[in-house]
Amino acid sequence: HHTLFVITADHTTKSDQASYSDSLGHFRVPIFFYRPGGKLPLVDIQQVVQHVDIPLSIMQLLGVRPEKWTRFGRSIFSHQPGWVMNRTEAGYWYLDKDGLIKSDENGGGAEFYTPQGDHVLAVGNSLDEKKKGQLDLRLRALLQYFFNG
């Protein structure tokens, strides 16, 4: 009962699945936690997670609380809402249950998307201005923290 397997990948390849063919598909990878003969806490398997969540998830399972930790990442076994931030050659993006915002390198040119069905994204015309503002604020706050500490 002292073994934990964490199985994941760093990127995907071409796929005939719609959820891998949108702009996030290249970054969509599985993350599995497996404890032989032991139980793990229940999780929402639809939640958004990122690789930086893995260390905090393992620490929670071990009962270890870090004294200091970056604002990036959370335990997937906690009840905190999931989110992902990433940088690509085109700029930055932030994703949570409300939608996706993409921004260029200078923090401008924001594009919004909403989840549709099987994680396929559609242009975020259905997002109201309040949700767009919240997504923009979250991305800007994370970028400020990332660059300025």
Compute and round to an integer the Cα radius of gyration of the chain. Answer: 17
Residue 58, pLDDT score: 93
Contacts of 126 (CB under 8 A, 6+ apart): 114
> Which has more pLDDT, 20 or 42?
42
pLDDT tens digits for range 98-134: 888 888 877 677 888 886 655 556 666 677 889 889 9
Instruction: Kindly tell me if the per-residue pLDDT of 33 is higher than 90.
Output: yes
Mean pLDDT along residues 126-146: 88
Q: What is the pLDDT of residue 121?
A: 60
Q: How confident is the model at residue 77 (pLDDT cuts 50, 70, 90)?
A: very high
11 burial class (0-12, 13-18, 19+ CB within 10 angstroms)? Answer: exposed
Given a contact cutoff of 8 angstroms between Cβ atoms, the answer to whether 99 and 127 are in contact is yes
Q: State the average pLDDT over residues 14-26.
A: 72
